Structure 1
Amino acid sequence: MKPRIAIDMDDVLADTTGQFITIYCRDFDPSALPQQFRDESFHELLEEKVYRQLSDYVYEPGFFADIPVMEEAQEVTQQLAEKYDLFVTTAAMEFRNSFVDKFDWLDRYFAHIPWQNRVFCGDKSILRADIMIDDLPRNLQSFQGEGLLFHAPHNRDEQGFKRVRSWREIAQILL
């Protein structure tokens, strides 16, 4: 039996921050510099009203349908699949309209991870795996295995977990 890796979807496999950057530049400020949102989180940079309006996009059908894939995520997960059992573990229950978008997105970009290995949940504390890769520290806090915190602007100050900044770095650690 191969060791198991639980892999989060948003801001780990899918560049959800990039999706928000695209929407912000399109609908709120065409002159904004996208890189600024890679260094600091939206809630730090935007007025509360604008931040809430931008955050509401996740509730719209289609938001999760065309999120860009994180650089090298496809290649590295294909390599990892030879050595590990991979499970995509995404908190889809929070956003009711996300399920079909996320399922279809995984079919399109990560068909090498079968539907049987996709866990759409709310509370990730129920997961049992050897390794979890996630961008939210709260999901790693109750996890019993090794947690890898995938770097994102919203977790940049977190010190409690081993941080990874790219799929290339994950490959160096796990392959």
Structure 2
Amino acid sequence: MKRIAIDMDEVITDAIGRFAEWYKRDYNIEFTEEQLISKKFEDLILPEHAGLPRKYAFHDDFFKDLTIMPGSQEVIRDLHEKYEIFITTAAMEFPNSLLPKLKWLKDHFPYISWTNIVFCGDKSIINADYLIDDNVKHFKRFIGQGVLFTSGHNLNVDWDVRVNNWQEVRAMLL
């Protein structure tokens, strides 16, 4: 059975939406959906707030109750019937994210065993046929095929295999 490794943030969870929600809460500045999907979040915020997204990500509640990316549950459920699925998140950078991410996965993807959830730093350790991720840095030493999941921060990144949503993942892998 082939293996698919799937990133969490900006692939199955909407972390950018949380950044925008908290930024509006703290500074009363709201971004449109078009802005959020067409630019890096860091490029949207005021220059004096540089570094704020990183600060948010270290907050204990940041990764709690993130919105799920449309279509991800259904497509991953179908992929799970044909492939061995691993959720692989570079969570070690934000250690406070470990428990909230684990709970989130249990709530939204209960059929994925805890043995198939990998909290790591360098994703090159993952032995899979495909890695669906929003950051090409994780493909550099990955032995399988990197599949870039489009996000505002990677629109100008050149990568051969790219999907824009979960329906395109379905079309590619099912």
Runs of 4+ residues deviating >4 angstroms? none
Match of 1:35 in 2: 34
**Mapping of residues 20-169 of structure 1, within 5 Å:** 20-169=19-168
Counterpart secondary structure, 2:51? helix
The two structures have a TM-score, normalised by structure 1, of 0.94
Q: Which moved more, 1:15-24 or 1:46-55?
A: 46-55
Check conservation: 1:76, 1:171, Cα contact below 8 A.
Answer: yes
1:31 CA drift (Å):
4.4
Check conservation: 1:21, 1:34, Cα contact below 8 A.
Answer: no
Give the paired residue count: 174
Q: 1:70 to 1:109 in 2, by over 3 A?
A: same
State the one-letter code of the partner of 2:113. P
CA distances 1:18-58 after superposition (whole Å, capped 9, x unpaired) = 11121122222344434312211122222333131233111
Q: Report the Cα distance in structure 1 between the residues aligned to 2:68 and 2:26, rounded to whole angstroms.
A: 22
RMSD between aligned residues = 1.3
- Structure 2 unaligned segments of length 5 or more: list them: none
Check conservation: 2:42, 2:53, Cα contact below 8 A.
Answer: no
State the one-letter code of the partner of 2:166. W
CA distances 1:39-91 after superposition (whole Å, capped 9, x unpaired) = 11122222333131233111010110111000010000000000000000001
Q: Report the Cα distance in structure 2 between the residues aligned to 1:16 and 1:23, rounded to whole angstroms.
A: 11
State the one-letter code of the partner of 2:42. H
The two structures have a TM-score, normalised by structure 2, of 0.95
Check conservation: 1:42, 1:51, Cα contact below 8 A.
Answer: no
